[in-house]
Amino acid sequence: WDSGSNVGEFDGHSKRVLSCAFKPSRPFRIVTCGEDYLVNFYEGPPFKFKLSQ
């Protein structure tokens, strides 16, 4: 299922990302958490930064 097309950029963390979760139904969302103690939310595709907590 890898089409090779870009689905977005995941900016927002200043340190390594430790975990990632994907919601595979509409609206599609990705959540990441990192060593910088941030939880970032993205919506897409194309996935764009939505919110940080």
Q: CA 19, CA 7: separation in Å to the nearest integer?
A: 18
Q: What is the chain's pLDDT, residue by residue, as a tens digit (53 residues)?
A: 567 788 777 788 999 999 999 999 999 999 999 999 999 999 988 888 888 88
What is the pLDDT, as a whole number, of residue 17? Answer: 94
- Structural domain total, the chain: 1
In a domain, 50, yes or no: no
In a domain, 2, yes or no: no
Q: Residue 32 belongs to what domain range? A: 13-43
What is the pLDDT, as a whole number, of residue 1? Answer: 56
In a domain, 28, yes or no: yes
In a domain, 20, yes or no: yes
User: CA torsion angle for 17, 46, 53, 31 (degrees, to 10)?
Assistant: -50
In a domain, 53, yes or no: no
